[in-house]
Structure 1
Amino acid sequence: MPTTRGGATDPAELAVRPGEDPWTAEEAAEARHGLEQEIAGLRAELETAEADLASLMRDSADGAGDDEADTGTKNVTREHELALAAGSRERLEQTERALLRMDAGTYGVCENCGKPIGKARMQAFPHAILCVDCKQKSERR
């Protein structure tokens, strides 16, 4: 079981692939900082998207005098904003989950096969949950 200090896992005990150097405290701190910054940015992005959506919903309720083109444009814009918000929400959940995995000592462990994902992959894609092999298998399905 990984050693914890103040709720955070000892970086040297985070999963790495055979032949990789263990995580250093600096690398783990950098990964954590990047995840925390991404969370803050995504929360701000979601706040803006939700305000935009509320405005669009108010505007669509007051459609008096709109022709079909105006109504269609508003619908397309609203659906686009909904898709953007959903994407931001999903990325936020993935990023928060990565931070929780780091605290739990499971950061860098494939959720499918349980093998190490690889430090280099985690540094490039900090919220990865699958090793390369499992990711390729999931994409073939």
Structure 2
Amino acid sequence: MPSTSLTVRADEDPWTDEEIEQVRAELLGGLDRLAAELKTSAAELRDLLASGVDGAGNDQADVGSTSLERDAEMSLAANQQELLSQTEKALERLDDGTYGICENCGQPIGKLRLLAFPRATLCMECKRKEERR
């Protein structure tokens, strides 16, 4: 049964309740997974910071290695936090009926794009323009 609550492109069939639930389930699963990964990354980062490798009594290779590992963990945690935020925003848009509308031009993003990448906020044209900058 088609759902008329979400915007689609003119060449697409309306969203079905099953498709909406499929997207919701994928987003919710991602939310749980990302929250768990972020918790793990935060614990690993705390452990690295608590190890106290600050150069006193350690050779330069140890200090450099620990610094590199800390930077990698911080980068990973920042990426996970961004994905978590995107997932939460996608769920909010799904709930308020604005899911599938390009945040830049206001046109439909497209079901196939959203089924492949449920956190998408831009239509393909706006995404291409963004990537050219």
* TM-score range relative to shorter protein: over 0.9
Q: Judging changes above 3 Å, is the alpha-carbon distance between structure 1 residues 11 and 102 closer, same or farther for their aligned structure 2 residues?
A: farther
Find runs of 4+ consecutive structure 1 residues off by over 6 angstroms: none
Contact 2:9–2:108, Cα closer than 8 Å, also in 1: yes
Instruction: Measure, in 2, the Cα distance between the counterparts of 1:35 and 1:112.
Output: 22
Contact 1:39–1:95, Cα closer than 8 Å, also in 2: yes
Determine the structure 1 residue equivalent to 2:107.
115
Number of equivalent positions:
132
Two-structure CA RMSD over aligned residues (Å): 1.4
2:69 to 66, 77, 81: 77
Instruction: Measure, in 2, the Cα distance between the counterparts of 1:11 and 1:42.
Output: 29
Instruction: Measure, in 2, the Cα distance between the counterparts of 1:63 and 1:90.
Output: 32
Determine the structure 2 residue equivalent to 1:131.
123
Q: Which runs of 5+ in 1 are unaligned?
A: 1-9
1:43 to 35, 38, 61: 35
The aligned amino acid for 1:13 is: S
Q: Which runs of 5+ in 2 are unaligned?
A: none
What per-residue deviation string (whole Å, max 9, x for no partner) do you get for residues 54-99 of structure 1? 0000113575421111000000000000000000000000011000
Determine the structure 1 residue equivalent to 2:90.
98
TM-score (norm 1): 0.89
Greater CA drift, 56-65 or 86-95: 56-65
TM-score (norm 2): 0.95
- CA positional deviation for 1:104: 0.9
